[in-house]
């Protein structure tokens, strides 16, 4: 199969991110390998075995300290690109995640023919959580 295999996020702390994505969102660890100071950590949605979400710390040895500091500030300011999580039932997912202490930035709202909510990971990465449409179309 060809396609995108890994897309990474910058996170402020990989242990914290792991606890969040696995413990609160229900992802699974795909790869967690250390090589010196560098840690390659990816998680996977249980329904999406062909895709890995990387949880990477911006720092040495990949980045110089000034660049790393800039990136950590950008992540903390919520300036990283949008992320979208598709769920079958947005309100049910919201209730469950909220009970786990996920920081929601927007409660579920009906609009555009579906339901969406917004949350952030501990680092500041912003997610939209959108309820999948019942109608199977070419839009996905």
Partner 1 sequence: MGTGQDPELLRRLLRAKDRMDAASDEEWPVRRLASVSGVSEAHFARSFKDAFGVPPHRYLLTRRIERAKTLLRDTDLPVTEVAFDTGWSSLGTFGRVFRDITGESPGELRGRERAAPHARDHVPACYLSAAHRPDLTIAVSEKRRRVAGPRIPANETTETEV
| Shortest distance in whole angstroms from residue 33 CB to partner 1 | 25
Taking the least distance from each CB to partner 1, the nearer of 1 and 66 is 66
Name the burial class of residue 63, with classes exposed (0-12), middle (13-18) and buried (19+) by CB atoms within 10 angstroms of its CB.
Answer: middle
According to CB under 8 A, which one of 19, 73, 92, 95 is a site residue for partner 1?
Answer: 73
According to CB under 8 A, which one of 22, 29, 85, 103 is a site residue for partner 1?
Answer: 103
| Shortest distance in whole angstroms from residue 81 CB to partner 1 | 9
- Any contact of residue 133 with partner 1 (CB under 8 A)? yes
Q: Which tokens belong to 24? A: 């609160």
- Any contact of residue 77 with partner 1 (CB under 8 A)? yes
């Amino acid at each position: 199969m060809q396609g995108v295999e890994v897309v990474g996020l910058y996170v402020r702390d990989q242990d914290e991110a792991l606890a969040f994505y696995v413990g609160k969102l229900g992802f699974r660890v795909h790869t967690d390998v250390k090589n010196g100071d560098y840690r390659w950590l990816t998680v996977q949605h249980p329904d999406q075995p062909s895709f890995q979400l990387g949880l990477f710390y911006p720092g040495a040895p990949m980045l110089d300290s000034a660049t790393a500091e800039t990136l950590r500030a950008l992540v903390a300011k919520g300036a990283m690109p949008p992320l979208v999580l598709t769920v079958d039932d947005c309100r049910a997912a919201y209730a469950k995640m909220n009970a786990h202490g996920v920081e929601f930035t927007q409660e579920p709202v009906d609009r555009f023919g579906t339901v969406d909510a917004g949350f952030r990971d501990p680092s500041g990465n912003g997610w939209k959580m959108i309820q999948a449409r019942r109608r199977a179309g070419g839009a996905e």
